[in-house]
Amino acid sequence: MKSNEELIRGLNEDLAAEWGTIMRYTFQSAKAVGLRGAELREILEKEIPDELGHARYLSDVISDMGGEPTTEPRKWDHTTELKPMLEQDLKMELQDVQNYTKHSKMAEELGLTELKVKLEEMAADESRHARELNRILKGL
């Protein structure tokens, strides 16, 4: 049986990942130029509100569970070269899918049904983001 503290720690890592992604996508949209850049901006700008929703939900839940929500973003590489940049985005989205799936199972073990379902939905959101990034990467 996993403990509440362990789950709070995991959710705080997820929250740091979300802050990092919000910053990364905002930065990458700002730096995107040209025709491909315009496409990229459109996709990334659609994803930012999803990630902000995730960050807000995690902050609420961590606080409700008695934890202190982090405001430190996960680190990322500031490359603006299209391919390595998108490869990094894809890798991080896939990592987030794994983490949300893992933490959803922990929430289930602790009997936290709403959290379990919500984390599963967030894993599905990240999975969709990964699919969209993969589609652009295939065309490069």
**Would you tell me which residues interact with Fe ion (CB under 5 A)?**
18, 51, 54, 93, 126, 129
Q: Which of the 8 DSSP states describes residue 110?
A: T
Angle at 22 between CA 21 and CA 24, to 5 degrees: 60
Instruction: Determine contact, residues 115/107, Cβ cutoff 8 Å.
Output: yes
Q: Which is nearer to Fe ion, 3 or 71 (CB)?
A: 71
Q: How far is the CB of 41 from Fe ion (least distance, A)?
A: 16
As measured in angstroms, the least distance from the Cβ of 27 to Fe ion is: 15
Please, what is the minimum distance in Å from the beta carbon of residue 92 to Fe ion?
8
Least distance (Å) between residue 77 CB and Fe ion: 17
Alpha-carbon gap, residue 94 to 83, rounded angstroms:
16
Is residue 25 exposed (0-12), middle (13-18) or buried (19+ Cβ within 10 Å)?
buried
Is the Cβ of residue 10 or residue 18 nearer to Fe ion in the bound state? 18
d(C-alpha 2, C-alpha 9), whole Å:
12
Q: Which is nearer to Fe ion, 18 or 74 (CB)?
A: 18
Q: Which is nearer to Fe ion, 18 or 104 (CB)?
A: 18
